[in-house]
Structure 1
Amino acid sequence: MTKSPAPLRRPAVARTLKALDRTIAGFRRKHETVALVPTMGALHAGHLALVRRARRAADRVVVSIFVNPAQFAPSEDFASYPRRLAADVSALAEARADLVWAPDAKVMYPAGFATRVAPEGPALAGLEDKYRPHFFGGVATVVAKLFGQVRPDIAVFGQKDYQQLKVVTRLAADLDLRVKIIGLPTVREKDGLALSSRNLYLSPEERGRAPVLHRVLAECADKIAAGRPIKATLESGAKALARAGFVLDYLEARNAETLAPARSVKDGPIRLLVAARLGTTRLIDNIAV
């Protein structure tokens, strides 16, 4: 007689710093390593891949779920950003997370909060920062707080937000935060579209066109790798995206480590980065050359 599988253990959920400290202290008493996966919730397969990578890297996995108001401009989608904590916790049980850190804004930014992190270096590369100048200050501030609250040995981020990954890596190094940053390759749909919580905003017709973004990016990477001039290749790619109905913010070739502009393959290793709107939805992606 075969045994039925053991029921999944739902991760504990901490909503206060006191509850978080109590649980983390329990891990540390057992000399267990801790990995953190910071998220804003509305979890998809890409997030769960980060959790599984964290599980391989540490004894315990903490997933933070916090829609951070500090990284949204007044004109952006903070109020409508999808929030579904119960479904997220169920998904994290499947991925074997140990703890969900889900504070509200009053816990993260209590009355009198007056300190913010102002990152430079990769945060001022003229990519996301050009179109969302508030963004990386909000990201750096909340990530610094999360690292201080959870005190992880490891933190796992996706490469889809490539500039953000570089900003966080620089933040941890510059502030001696004693956390190892792991970047995980972008998880994609079968048609190449990078997984994103904002994909939920796409209409069915827009969803059908959305994979063109990655397709054009991959074609540009192939041409540059084959020796075609970077400037002409990106200009051709921008025209292809416009024909597909995208409104382009940027399509850039950058040094993969410094994010400095790359004008030839000699400026490599090269990363192509793109951001464009399809209808009201802003999509980003990147690829190595």
Structure 2
Amino acid sequence: MEARTDLSLFNERISQIRKRISSVIVGQQEAVDMLITCILANGHVLIEGMPGVAKTLMARLTAKLIDAKFSRIQFTPDLMPSDVLGTSVFSMKTSEFDFHPGPVFANIVLADEINRSPAKTQAALFEVMEERQATIDGNTYKMDDVYTIIATQNPIEQEGTYRLPEAQLDRFLMKITMGFPSVDEEVEILKRHNGNSQFARINDMEPIMTKEQLTDMRRMMDSVVMEESLMRYIAEIISQTRKSKAVFVGASPRATVAVMQCAKAYALLQGRDFVTPDDIKAVAPYVIHHRIILNAEAEMSGLTPDKVTRTLIDKVEVPK
């Protein structure tokens, strides 16, 4: 199948983004591609990884490359919902309450170490993540068309952390796991630091695209072709998560739609205006594995949601 949409300008911008990110972050190419995919698909993303693997750096860098309002929320156990959403303050001049918006009112919001705050504060993000609006003191405030939350969390620390509820996990379009670099990549990191290059300074970087350009790139997803056989392929994959004996709770229809949206965005990233089975297989694990709950027997056997998800995907016959 040949491309029917001119993707030259799109490909040029994506190439620039990848080049800028690689000038700061060594390796992690798959994580970078999935983050770009998620932003193109107009979704929120959860980045999980050990301390020091550049989770926060990658989120900050991605936000810097888009000419949009950026804010960062450092989640802590004493963080209150009003610290996230904002609060109404009584004005002596007007004798009325003035609303002071919180850091969640931005285009790209970095929720750093999101699992360090209790459920009450995490719940403050429920409405804004799903409906792109916040209701405070009876007033509803709409967010901008470009609105993305990039959250990070540490998978190993337990003290002082609060597990994200399933309802909130389901609102993240993708969960990306960042691993350790290879030996060669780590040598390259040492070379850059040894040369005192500091990679490239984020604050000195200029944005590559505007909010309007990002919106135009997102509209291109409407022209991406997905055949009905591939839609059925996605539905069969999701169905497997509900039938598997290792899974206690399977993925919801929201996951089905999410896989389709991410597959379209990933196809554009590959320079195509049509989806292939490989696109679906590439994005599906990142869309599904945080949306399923394994049963106790599977967890005791050492299985992880990611391993189970990839096994279930392989079970489904690929359409020809």
TM-score by length of 2: 0.27
Which protein, 1 or 2, shows the higher relative CO under an 8 Å CA cutoff with sep ≥ 6?
Answer: 2
Structure with bigger helix share is: 2
TM-score by length of 1: 0.30
